[in-house]
Amino acid sequence: MKHSVTELPFNTFLGLEPAPDPAHLLRLPSGPQYLNHLGTVHASAQLALAEASSGEFLLRSLGPDSGVIPVVRRLESKFRKPANGAITSTVTTPPATLDQLRADLATKGRATISLTVELHDESGAHTLSATVEWFFTRIE
Q: Maximum CA pair distance of the chain? A: 50
> How far is 118 from 129, CA to CA, in rounded Å?
5
Closest-CA residue to 79 (of 25, 123, 113, 42): 42
Mind listing the pLDDT tens digit for each residue in 70-104?
A: 999 999 999 999 999 999 999 999 999 999 999 99
Mind listing the pLDDT tens digit for each residue in 13-28?
A: 999 999 999 999 999 9
> How far is 23 from 5, CA to CA, in rounded Å?
18
Q: Write down the mean pLDDT value for the chain.
A: 95
Asked whether the predicted pLDDT for residue 64 surpasses 70, the reply is: yes
Domains of the chain: 5-138 (3.10.129.10)
Taking residues 120-139, report their average pLDDT. Answer: 96
Closest-CA residue to 63 (of 3, 16, 134, 108): 3
CA torsion 41-47-53-59 (nearest 10°) is -150
